[in-house]
Amino acid sequence: MTGRNIDPLSLDETIDEGKEEKDVEKRRASVWEHQELAQIPIKVLRGHTDAVTGCHFCFDDTKVLTSSQDKTAALWDTESGAALLVFERGHLSNISECALIPDKKRLITASWDKTLNAWDLETGKIIWTAAQADHHKSTITRCRFDPQSQHVASVSEDRTIKLWDLVSTQTTLSINR
């Protein structure tokens, strides 16, 4: 055995030590010449006019929910690639995150405008907006529902975490750092 280094990621399963380097290169090139490259089918969903900030599969992976810096969120059909519903005119600034309530009837969007909106998935209308007195003082970066679909948590660049009651639309817990 020689002190020759063998690349463990090489396409060559073994390197015959008796062959010249030229033969190894020839064999390596022939593997690539005849091997078809794997193709992964993709669909491009077009509709947002600015950067997409969030993306979630939902409804048994038949839909995709996205949020964008264009101040909108959208629900897409994964088969056709069509936007089924666009949630717009609810925020004054970029939407940083979107989350689908587990019962799949509501959507929450968090924004750089320091607001949190709850949307009806059937009508596309806003159900409620976080109360002015309970707003974060900076960009809301993330939002998530609890497993029982009773509360939504929001986190902000102001270093606070707020827990919102979905029925009363009030903050039930605020954690300040």
End-to-end CA distance of the chain: 62
> Alpha-carbon distance 123 to 87, whole Å?
9
Q: Which helix (H) or strand (E) holds 106?
A: strand 106-111
From 129, 133, 125, 132, select the one nearest 143 (Cα to Cα).
129
pLDDT more than 90, % of the chain: 31
Quote the pLDDT of residue 24. Answer: 56
Asked which of 8-12, 36-40, 52-56, 57-61 is least confident by mean pLDDT, the reply is 8-12
Quote the pLDDT of residue 32. Answer: 45
For residue 159, pLDDT over 80 is answered with yes
Please answer whether residues 68 and 90 qualify as being in contact, where contact means their C-beta atoms are separated by less than 8 angstroms: no
pTM summary value:
0.69
Quote the pLDDT of residue 30. Answer: 45
Quote the pLDDT of residue 31. Answer: 46
Q: Residue 97, exposed/middle/buried by CB under 10 A (0-12, 13-18, 19+)?
A: buried
Please answer whether residues 75 and 85 qualify as being in contact, where contact means their C-beta atoms are separated by less than 8 angstroms: yes
For residue 158, pLDDT over 80 is answered with yes
| Residue 64 DSSP SS3 | strand
Q: What is the arithmetic mean of pLDDT over 92-114?
A: 87
Give the model confidence (pLDDT) of 80-91 as tens digits.
999 999 999 999
Give the model confidence (pLDDT) of 129-150 as tens digits.
875 447 788 888 888 888 777 7
Higher pLDDT, 146 or 112: 112
Q: Domains in the chain, please, with CATH?
A: 52-176 (2.130.10.10)
Distances (CA, A) of 113 to 45, 71, 101, 124: 26, 10, 21, 20
Quote the pLDDT of residue 125. Answer: 94
Q: What is the arithmetic mean of pLDDT over 94-110?
A: 86
Q: What is the mean pLDDT of the chain?
A: 80
Q: What is the arithmetic mean of pLDDT over 66-72?
A: 96
β-strand pairing of 126-129 with 140-145: unpaired
From 166, 172, 111, 106, select the one nearest 136 (Cα to Cα).
111
